[in-house]
Structure 1
Amino acid sequence: MNKQLLCTLKLILPATKASPNSVLGAALGPFGINLISFCKEFNNLTIAYKGLPISIKLWIYSDKKYNLIIKTPPTINLIYEFCNLKSKSWHNQLILTDDIINKIIKLKYNDFKLLTIDKIKTIIYDTAHSLGVLYKS
């Protein structure tokens, strides 16, 4: 019997902190996915991004198996993380440096495979600018 694609889900979960709670149970339970094994797999795959929100794409098949694609954290969260922002308050004046931009590029490069490094820098700079973060070269 061929396995059939039942559903494709896009979720955002905190890295290393997935637990079989009601939200995850409501999303995966109807398809017969073992929540505990899914959480263990997700938590092991996201150790490098501890605590940051991670976008995932999940293909669920009729044989109760799934394929999981883990993306990098959103650029906004990486800017806050690398600028050492503990609380997202507009009273904090953040400075984005070339070093921080290069760290973000290393993490996000695979998400922007078709873009040049300069274009990726522009995207990161524009994202930071929209957050009120100052750029200092």
Structure 2
Amino acid sequence: MAFEQSLRRPVAATIRMIVPAGGAKPAPPVGPALGQYRLNLMTFCKDFNARTQHIKPETPMSVLLTAYKDNTFDFIVKSPSVTWYLKKAAGIQAGSGKPGHETVATLSVKHIYEIAKIKQTDPNCQTMPLESICKSIISTARTMGIKVLKELD
């Protein structure tokens, strides 16, 4: 029991941020979020930028950072949100103001499948079947006013 407790470090906070790929700087949103827990900003910026250097710059990456009371941290980089991928694939700036009544774009199932393959690499989706991820993405597309077709004409 004592050994188990020595492995666990007391957590100060769990921080969620959206940071552009390869663009972490000690400025907002990173600086204020990490500074209040006295975390080393430059270490985070270097590690994050190294992990995301292969991704197109300015891609909004979701970061889940666990800050510990001894001023250390761990972080997980997730892929961008499903809505970001859907907007990029459809070539639109925003979803419909009246989903269900107004269609702003159409996508094929192939687009949905490609997005699902990317999202399957996220830690919380690794155990989910690809079909379930696809269904979830189709639902998100519907709420954005994007119509999903089996094949595009």
Normalization by structure 2: what TM-score?
A: 0.74
Length, aligned pairs only: 135
Per-residue CA deviation, residues 52-86 of structure 1 (Å, 9 max, x unaligned), is: 3222111112332210111121100011122233x
Counterpart AA for 1:78: Y
Q: Does 1:130 align with 2:140?
A: no
Mapped partners of 1:89, 1:126: distance in 2: 13
- The 2-side partners of 1:136 and 1:122 are apart by 13
Equivalent-residue separation in structure 2 for 1:40 and 1:92 (angstroms) = 42
Moved more, 94-103 or 66-75: 94-103
Report if aligned partners of 1:52, 1:77 keep a CA contact under 8 Å in 2. Answer: no
1:1-137 alignment runs, 5 A limit: 4-47=10-53, 48=55, 50-85=57-92, 87-88=93-94, 90=96, 93-110=104-121, 111-137=124-150
Shift of 1:92: 8.6
Percent sequence identity over aligned pairs: 27
Q: Distance in 2 between matches of 1:126 and 1:23?
A: 30
Q: Distance in 2 between matches of 1:31 and 1:129?
A: 40
State the 1:102 CA deviation: 1.7
Structure 2 unaligned regions, length at least 5 = 1-5, 97-101
Greater per-residue helix proportion = 1
Shift of 1:131: 0.5
The structure number with the bigger radius of gyration is 2
